[in-house]
Structure 1
């Protein structure tokens, strides 16, 4: 429910800002937050409000010491930012709050012999069933960064960029197996929990997500 309230607040802010200010700008983005868009409106001569979204799906392979995984990164962000221009130029300092819907879906892959090794124990893929997991992050996260470009300063087209960090906290991992042989399910429960600890250790440094983004904007 909190997620829905945050999204509603962001959309309300975008609407109210656009009604209050005529010199708004829209931008199309590409970067580590995926493909997205932002709306910027001036609040003062050196302060803008910016509201945006970003999304992308990306698949890749990774592994722990025991298990190979097929990972699918799902980027989903909604942000509300303030851009401050300390020298009344193009350089800006940005900060704000982000609804962080980013997550990673993990699917375990049997090794070449058609088996899994979990916590030092080997199981055939047929007896172990499917190994699936999720890597999730804090849903509401602060953002800080710097950038270049003031899209609302002059009418027409412009280019801007962002360099920052999304402070999304420690990842939460959840690993489970389905379709296991009833004779091995009890033993698997303990070994899957041990593998989940290894997966958590693998991603423990993902507390801060780097944001690199370039945008093409147009001010009406």
Structure 2
């Protein structure tokens, strides 16, 4: 419901722009999730757009740097874009995205040792090693796409390929009676290893397809 409420607010904003060309609602799916948006043509070569995208919250588990994790991934995005049409419906797109994208990883103690840095630490069920990975809240966007061109009334096909450019940050902590004894050197080393892995990802991709309706 919150997602739909935010979309309605964006739609009202776009409809109030006041150009002679009617706004174009659209829906798409792909990365970064389910999208709802409003496109507003301002000339025969330029369209501005607002959209919301979400995948909600997803649970994930795996192994990172030798530690078994249970994780939770969350991604919501608001985007403001400008499309420049260079050949028919083909366009170049630039803009900015406001992101709520993070991945929280937790290693739960179960009585077996957990290696943090260069040391193996004994654990109890009350022990935790937590890593929080967060993508920047505001990022530039560049991409290419198809659709939203002024004058194509009725149903249309839309597609986007691009990325929000930014590097995630990593924070870690330990909890519980045994893991509270972890040395700062080991914790720093483990954090850096995670940063080295996450640091290879410097963008959130967008690859989506959908439909639009221009009045």
Q: TM-score, length-normalised on structure 1?
A: 0.83
CA shift, 1:196, in A, is 1.3
Q: 1:123 aligns with which of 114, 121, 124?
A: 121
Mean CA deviation greater in 75-84 or 63-72 = 63-72
Q: 2:205 aligns with which of 207, 210, 217?
A: 210
CA shift, 1:202, in A, is 1.3
Match of 1:162 in 2: 160
Match of 1:36 in 2: 35
Q: 1:178 aligns with which of 165, 175, 178?
A: 175
Aligned residue for 2:65, secondary structure, equals coil
Q: Distance in 1 between matches of 2:26 and 2:10?
A: 17
Q: Distance in 2 between matches of 1:71 and 1:78?
A: 24
Q: Deviations over 1:123-142 (max 9, x none)?
A: 22218711112101221110
Match of 1:5 in 2: none
CA contact under 8 A between 1:130 and 1:179: conserved in structure 2? yes
CA shift, 1:110, in A, is 5.0
Q: Distance in 1 between matches of 2:151 and 2:122?
A: 63
CA contact under 8 A between 2:10 and 2:51: conserved in structure 1? no
CA contact under 8 A between 1:127 and 1:180: conserved in structure 2? no
Match of 1:71 in 2: 71
Aligned-pair RMSD on alpha carbons? 2.5
Q: Distance in 2 between matches of 1:76 and 1:180?
A: 35
CA contact under 8 A between 1:67 and 1:109: conserved in structure 2? no
CA shift, 1:189, in A, is 4.0
Count of residue pairs the alignment pairs up: 207
Q: 2:192 aligns with which of 169, 173, 197?
A: 197
Map 1:21-32; keep pairs closer than 5 Å.
21=19, 22-32=21-31
- What residue ranges of structure 1 are gaps of 5+ in the alignment? 1-7
Match of 2:136 in 1: 138
- What residue ranges of structure 2 are gaps of 5+ in the alignment? 1-5
Match of 2:96 in 1: 97
CA contact under 8 A between 2:109 and 2:124: conserved in structure 1? no
